[in-house]
Structure 1
Amino acid sequence: MKAMILAAGKGERMRPLTLTTPKPLLLAGGTPLIVHHIRKLRDAGFTELVINHAWLGEQIEQALGDGNKHGVTITYSPEEEPLETAGGIRQALPLLDGKAGWFAVINGDIWHDFDLTELTPPARGKALLVLTDNPVHHPEGDFALAEDGLVSSDGAPKLTFTGISLLHRSLFAGLPRGKLKLAPILREAMARGEVSGLHHRGQWMDIGTPERLATLDRLLTHPLHS
């Protein structure tokens, strides 16, 4: 099964760090954020990766190359302007052909200790989302996870979408090319009972600000003191 790392954002909340360096290449624990993802995907058996990029994307290609030094194969999906999550996936679909139409997707600006081997296709539906407890900066959460494993946009309590998912290419069938957000597409699928979820109770961070990047750097550099 293939996996896609979303790395096309401009990282505006991370300025001035991202004025000259794309967010995926910012260091945490001495390692670029995107390399943490590549290693975890590789160790879980995902060795064919697709990475989209836009802002300073040539730096990402120069840093990672074909992926050989990390034990993976990387194909790039460049975007002239960021196409949002669904738009980026839609453009990359021809590169994501794989096992029964399923592929993994991970936001490039998160950090986690989720076991990616748990990303296995659900018995029914078109998406499997990994949800986690709501962080302080996002107390309202995103989606509700029912006892039967289905995810809905309504209901309580709500959990936060980690940005880790397993998606089926049919979810994007018939969508036009261009800028497209993923959340509305997922909500429509939820209304049809086509989205399942897993509750991750381990560590997860949205690396959306310089302060959170610094927190992660301390965690990875001095884990016993964090």
Structure 2
Amino acid sequence: MGSGSKSFIETYFDFSQIDWNLMGQATIETVYITFISMFFTIVLGFLLGLLLYSLGKKHSPFGKILFFVVSIASNIFRSIPYIVLLVLLIPFTKFMVGTMIGPVSVIPSLIVSAIPFYARLVEVALREVNSGVLEAADAMGASPFEKTVKVLLSESLPALLSGITITTVSMIGYTAMGGVVGGGGLGQLAYQQGFTLGKLTVTLVATAILLLLVFAVQFIGDMLVKRADKR
């Protein structure tokens, strides 16, 4: 029993295996990848979600067809597992950033995978806005831009922030998967040193840091949602 316990402790809690400089660098890379990817995801995902929302309200045949096409394309990219999409986008990634190694290499695939996901959350959030508020804005002569910013965006802000939180949490997990194929960050460190070299303490600590990042994002997101919720 004693030797077994000692073996377990040596396997998972041998902190002499860890290069803390590398661990710190990997953490910074993960935060960097997540931040850059989420910036473009929020901007482009909101625009795509707004487009889906607008087209969904069109009653003309052309509007319905366009909504169907955009919706299908969004569902296709949203349904492809990230690791598969990462491989499929290798030529596109090389064209965009010139490399398939390092933190920058996973950003294009992360953005492409997350935009449809967040766009659907945006579409749902906009649809949940009270129609009476929109009718009141129309009655007051609000322009489409004013109605979007002052009514749609304002009324749906809690749901939009909740969607950002959910997407960011998923993004952190995707960065770990990207690290397995040389995308940098905690995922690469956990795989190359933790799994390949048998230093499971490295994998354990990298996982713990990923969990802390997720908890931090969730806490901040929940706090912002509560502050934005007017109810």
TM-score by length of 1: 0.24
Higher strand proportion (structure 1 or 2): 1
TM-score by length of 2: 0.24
